Amino acid sequence: MFENKTVLITGGTGTFGQGFTERILNKFSPRKVIIFSRDEMKQWEMEARFENDKLRFILGDVRDKDRLKRALNGVDILIHAAAMKIVPKAEYDPFECVKTNILGAMNVIDAALDCKVNKVVALSTDKASSPVNVYGATKLVSDKIFIAANSYRGAQATIFSVVRYGNVMGSRGSVLPLFDKLRNGKSMPVTDINMTRFMITLDQGMDLVETALKTAVGGEIFVRKVPSMKILDVAKAINPTAEIQIIGVRPGEKIHEQLISYDEAKYTYDFGEYFKIYSPYFLPKQDTIREQGGKSVGSDFSYSSDKNKDWMTTEELLSWVDLNLKH
């Protein structure tokens, strides 16, 4: 899939971008991997970390269509990971969130079509399902326009798909690094005693992107099956003797994550390790879906962190923390 291909990752200096870059360079033989982002210091640090002659860095912002078109010249595969994603910041500065997450997505689509990119995968979020905050609403719009982009390609071969998952365990802004820093403290902050979250690893997120690149025909949203855990249980696992301090839910924050809503269930199919949410405009024939191993989830289905059938144990969590976080 990546052999002798040129891959570009927008927002490529982030957690996903760095992890996926390492995976591509270690597992495959791409022609080039291009990191497109607006932070020159993060690019400088990433360049020093990898020291690979197949790695290229282009400074730019997804808000700048001309710069995107310049960067996408000759690119085969595009992974769109750039976004404004911190929920309280998006609530406070919604105009800026719209410019990056919606207008930026439109620029990415236009540039990808103009430059005849073969495959485009956009990273989404649980917050795009039944959104209650600005970030989630902008990512829902982004998802919709990436799926609709398949209508604009005409006879061109560009394929657009989306992958949707929650906060990656240990990523910047996630709760695990914060809790790990407080593992010897006297108290642990918890927003709500009932709050639950999906627990997805970076490897699982990257696997889902590879699945989308391999199997997408255009118009699908891929959702990985992952376990859930109560945030209260996460805090107690990392620091069992600490006093739990309830600090309240942040503006725009959900008590439970949702990856598939009841309204999306009609077009959702179970493929074993993951779900596919199809667009009604690009829905394959039922026989085709069945031949590929897909089974309808039923109209009364939803996929939320509180109603999940799979729950991560304390032992599994601590094993991951010990392997992945530096104390």
Write out the catalytic residue numbers. Answer: 127
The alpha carbon of residue 215 and the mean position of all alpha carbons in its chain are separated, in whole angstroms, by 17
Residue 304: strand, helix, or coil: strand
Opening angle at CA 145, ends 106 and 159, nearest 5: 90
* Residues 92 and 135 sit within 8 Å (Cβ to Cβ): no
Task: Find the DSSP H helices in the chain.
Answer: 15-27, 40-50, 65-71, 87-92, 94-98, 104-114, 134-148, 175-181, 202-215, 231-238, 286-291, 314-324
Structure tokens at 214: 């391999």
Structure tokens at 106: 């439109």
HSE-CB of 141 using CA atoms within 13 angstroms:
16
Q: Residues near 177 by Cβ (< 8 Å), separated by ≥ 6? A: 170, 325
